[in-house]
């Protein structure tokens, strides 16, 4: 029976790998150029990555681990027919920007100063009240294209008014390479700290960290490191740390929170008891619960405010990505980020105001 189950799993993984959508960074449509669709919304996304660059068309960066940070930017085009909560990704190339997402104008920066100059220029294009950064750390099983599109859709649907920065660590982009991804996240830990140091040199007035799935594990490990060095939030500009469906061992998370300066009280965890991806992760981890599917009341005792999405059933991207797939949830998060610091301070009152009648339970930190 075990052999049969293993064979079935391998077949599923093989099918999933074959069905993966193509890489599309920098691939425009020669017949319908993306720039010609004036109704499409455009978002400039900056990228800080631990991936090696590649010559593969549409990939921009590979799954291989780099020794140093790479710096880049792209423009994500959202089609005028976009439906809130969906990611209209092309299944074949070139993309049709009238009905599909496109990623154009990739730029590689040869130095930190060049990257910062472009980033600051983008910040200056916004009103002073909107010169915020969103550092987005993607999760397991993601290619560069996957991560860029996820950020683009999230920014579009949440209505985030600041500038998004993607931290693209070296995920293999394959379901079967969970352990490789886990080790890549650990390898990326000091480089995520370096990325934060670069962003701290920008003119941004404040910034938020938003981490999904295994990206939450990477983020927490980096925060523990800087806390031990007495450098956590030393600029005072960090407003919120949001962990969406974090793929973190619950016992490890308890240890991590014990290491972190509790004077910073704006940690948020988005969880869902029906998260199918974290059920699989729990089996791989020997049965230890994952934070993103844990008990909300137990988590709140560790110093985090928990937003329980278990009753949300309208996600178009499945149970593991309700933060972007549920129209109501993604807009809730956007209002929270744009209204910071109220999202963090006076947490219970502020969250109740934006949640309204949504089937979402908020459990404030109780320690």
Q: pTM for the complete prediction?
A: 0.92
Residue 16, pLDDT > 90, answer no
Mean pLDDT of the chain: 91
Q: pLDDT per residue over 177-200, tens digit each?
A: 999 999 999 999 999 999 999 999
Residue 345: per-residue pLDDT: 43
Residue 366: per-residue pLDDT: 85
Please give the average per-residue pLDDT across 297-307, as a whole number.
95
Residue 358: per-residue pLDDT: 79
CA dihedral sign, ordered 300, 304, 305, 310: negative
Cα 261 vs. chain centroid, distance in angstroms?
Answer: 23
Q: pLDDT per residue over 79-97, tens digit each?
A: 999 999 999 999 999 999 9
- Per-residue 3-state assignment (H helix, E strand, C coil) for 234-290: CCCCEEEEEEECCCCEHHHHHHHHHHCCCCCCCEEEEECCCCHHHHHHHHHCCCCCE
CA distance 217 to 222: 9
Residue 338's pLDDT band, with cuts at 50, 70 and 90, is: confident
Helix (H, G, I), strand (E, B) or coil at 122: helix
Lowest-pLDDT range of 5-19, 22-36, 73-87: 5-19
For 98, the token pair is: 């009238």
Residue 18, pLDDT > 80, answer no
Residue 115's pLDDT band, with cuts at 50, 70 and 90, is: very high
Question: What is the radius of gyration, based on Cα positions, of the chain?
Answer: 20
Q: pLDDT per residue over 137-171, tens digit each?
A: 999 999 999 999 999 999 999 999 999 999 999 99
Q: Which residues pair with 198 in a beta bridge?
A: none
Residue 113's pLDDT band, with cuts at 50, 70 and 90, is: very high
Higher pLDDT pick, 351 / 37: 37
Please give the average per-residue pLDDT across 356-364, as a whole number.
83
């Amino acid at each position: 029976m075990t052999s049969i189950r293993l064979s079935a799993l391998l077949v599923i993984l093989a099918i999933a790998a074959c069905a993966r959508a193509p890489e599309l960074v920098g691939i425009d449509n020669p017949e319908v150029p993306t720039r010609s669709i004036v109704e499409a919304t455009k978002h400039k996304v900056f990228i800080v990555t631990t991936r090696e660059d590649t010559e593969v068309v549409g990939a921009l960066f590979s799954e291989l681990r780099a020794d140093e940070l790479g710096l880049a930017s792209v423009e994500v085009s959202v089609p005028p027919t976009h439906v809130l909560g969906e990611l209209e990704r092309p299944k074949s190339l070139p993309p049709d920007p009238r009905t599909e997402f496109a990623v154009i104008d990739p730029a590689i920066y040869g130095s930190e100063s060049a990257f910062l100059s472009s980033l600051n220029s983008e910040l200056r294009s916004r009103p002073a009240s909107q010169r915020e950064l969103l550092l987005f750390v993607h999760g397991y099983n993601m290619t560069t294209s996957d991560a860029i599109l996820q950020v683009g859709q999230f920014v579009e649907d949440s209505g985030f008014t600041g500038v998004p920065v993607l931290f693209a660590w070296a995920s293999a982009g394959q379901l079967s390479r969970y352990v490789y991804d886990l080790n890549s996240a650990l390898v990326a830990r000091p480089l995520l700290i370096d990325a934060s140091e670069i962003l701290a040199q920008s003119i941004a007035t404040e910034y938020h960290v938003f981490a999904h799935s295994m990206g939450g594990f990477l983020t927490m490990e980096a925060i523990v490191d800087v806390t031990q060095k007495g450098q956590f939030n030393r600029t005072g500009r960090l407003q919120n740390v949001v962990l969406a469906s974090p793929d973190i061992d619950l016992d490890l998370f308890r240890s991590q929170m014990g290491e972190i300066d509790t004077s910073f009280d704006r940690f948020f965890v988005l969880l869902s008891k029906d998260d199918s991806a974290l059920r699989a992760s729990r089996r791989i981890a020997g049965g230890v619960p994952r934070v993103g599917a844990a008990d909300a009341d137990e988590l709140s005792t560790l110093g985090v405010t928990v937003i329980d999405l278990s009753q949300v059933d309208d996600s178009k991207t499945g149970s593991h990505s309700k933060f972007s797939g549920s129209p109501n949830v993604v807009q809730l998060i956007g209002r929270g980020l744009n209204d910071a610091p109220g999202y963090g301070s006076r947490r219970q009152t502020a969250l109740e105001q934006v949640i309204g009648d949504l089937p979402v339970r908020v459990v404030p930190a109780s320690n």
